[in-house]
Structure 1
Amino acid sequence: MEREFVSAEDLDALSERLDEVSSYLHVDEKRERVAELERASAAPGFWDDAEAARTTMAELASVRDDVQAVDRAREGLEDARAALELAAEMDGDEELLSEATQTAASLRDKIDELELSSWFTGEFDHGDAIVTIKPGQGGLEAQDWTFMLFKMYMKYCERRGWKVTINDCPAAEVIGIDRATFTVEGKNAFGMLRAEAGVHRLVRISPTDAKKRRQTTFAGVEVIPVLPDDIEIEVAPDDIRVDVYHASGPGGQGVNTTDSAVRVTHLPTGIVVTCQNERSQIQNKAACMQILKARLYELELQKRAEALDEIRGPKTDIGFGNQIRSYVLYPYQMVKDLRTGVETGDVDAVLEDGDLDRFIVGYHRWATGNE
């Protein structure tokens, strides 16, 4: 079978896509912004206001990253063109054609990533996320399914190089976990992960059923943004109740040996946030307050608008008829997103290795009309 190599027309098409993405990302404006921020950061007294300086440096890193990503893509495009032209001069040299083809494949992946980033136009899309997983219908099985999803997302975040802080993940009495809340820090974390908000359905042979019957279980995933420092949410001390208890982790192991886990209850709304990741009550309370403020902000948005699709997706019961994705392990193996139709038979790659990009990218293509 004759091997297919990249063509000049293929590279032209990639060049057009790169030009479009560069325009969507406003790279020319960002290039000017990089220069402006670099001048500001080099000015005398820049670090006198440490908080303002950190904000400036964070913006500089973000805009510089977009500019450099486009510049690297253009360099890759030129490398592919050079290899292709040299191959033509050498009567179709296959080694050079192979080099051009591999470079083009890498370039295509980079443009896909840039294109995805260009679709994120929400206020918080480029920032960090707070993810909560809760068991739904299915009893003990749902608690085990919650733990499976938790591990899947840990793998996915690791694949993307995101930093994860586990705020709360108490073990269930028999199997799995009662819930999980974790903060994800990384570029476009909220924009990417909001594709996961909704009900996830698992079909498999029950590991707790002696008769080995098929069981359907559900878990709900909530994704909300970490609020930037310039958004202030006031919480009156009299409006919260703080309880302290002994921490425990998945599988029953103790996270630490002190009563450092913290539960914060917002009395006016009934919102409850728990955190047991840190070693001290003070740190855990600070983490609880960050999550509480994000949820109160979300609640305020709900009051202003009947739907909250832009932030978390519509609220639904965590049960039959409301799932966004099905994970079938028996009688066949298939993971299918019911919104986009994206599916795969390699369930281990999804659940064990966190290979979620096809579903997340597929969702954003569908949501933005770029299918």
Structure 2
Amino acid sequence: MGAEPPASRWRQLMDRVRRSLLPESNGKTDEALEVAELASSTALHLFRQRSILQEEWIASFQPGRASLPTLLALGCPPPRGAGHPAAKSEDICSGRVKVRTTVAKKHRLNAKLKKQADEDQTHVHLGHYLAYVRTELDQEASCLEMPWTMILLLSFAVVMFMHLRPDQVLVVENAWKTDIEENANFAWSEHFGHKTVYDVDSIPDFWAWLRLGMLPLLGNTWLWSEGRLDAAYAATPFSTPDLPTVLDLSYGIFADEPWGNASLPVRGDFLHFNRIVAGVRLQQERAIGSWEACHVPTSMPEDLWKRWLGKPCMLATPSYFLRPEVHWAHSFHSPQRVEWMLSGSLQELQQMTLDMEDGAVPEVGPADVRPAKAELRRLEAHLCRLRGSMTTRRGSSSAQWRTTRTMGFFPR
């Protein structure tokens, strides 16, 4: 027969201890002490054997399998069919084995993590160190490149300023814009014009502003101060020979030291220091009309609603129902009418505007050149009339070596 299981020996010792402690066992103290000492040594032996078996079980654990001695050492009941050398742990206290195995795994994992944390606190990974060194080198290179970047930026700013001369450009732009806004007046009463470009609220207002306000600034006219033309105005009829005919340009040190002179009026002159190169261009953008664009009830006879409308419907792109964007005014999509008003007398230019007033919607654009700087400029006065009879106005000027133009467009 095999050796007696440790659990049976432990139960026998416990029975002997209980019998020695019964009342009828008085006087048997030595035997009780001997039994207690034997029980203590047996318990210690069992504890050590159980710990060794548990460690072996954990080290060689296969999920779902357990050997019989190990299960008995762990305090599990014997399996069914006790001659089986390896029974499944699900049939033999599987819960206790799994729980103790999981706890042991957690302890090992915690110990491993603690060891790794201690190593991380005392050591630096090579990848982190190389990334730090690379960052420091990149920052150092950026700092070393900063002076050259600033020199390049300053050089570009200086060259741009010397080439484009934005200070002079700004002065010229403001001069053009102010002249259009303040001096292109209409609705005259004697010598005072009551309306400016910002008072243009209808198509007749636009043509009045162009003919009486804008063209006198661009035509071959010359303005004198009050009192110089009294003799000419006093004569009946108007005495042209009484008008001054020569302008002395006194730019010398002394007043009687003229630098030059010019016959009046100076052809193509604008603001005394600018010269109009070609003339005024009138350009019209309008929607294309068609009867198919009209939306009327189908029950109405065609000849009836055509007589009632009187003209075809027009659809525009971009739509003229909304307030136009600023960039719309800088380009014409497909102008239908283009007229040039070349430099001539003011009376000729005004007569041309009267002839074109019937249905024309212009873009006015004079091109001028400044003799001293040979600088081309563009001046724009945008007048946009929407379908709801609302007119929007905007003035702008640009003097960056480009042609000059003033434009307005109205849908019909």
TM-score of the two chains, using structure 2 as the length reference: 0.18
TM-score of the two chains, using structure 1 as the length reference: 0.20
Structure with higher Rg: it is: 2
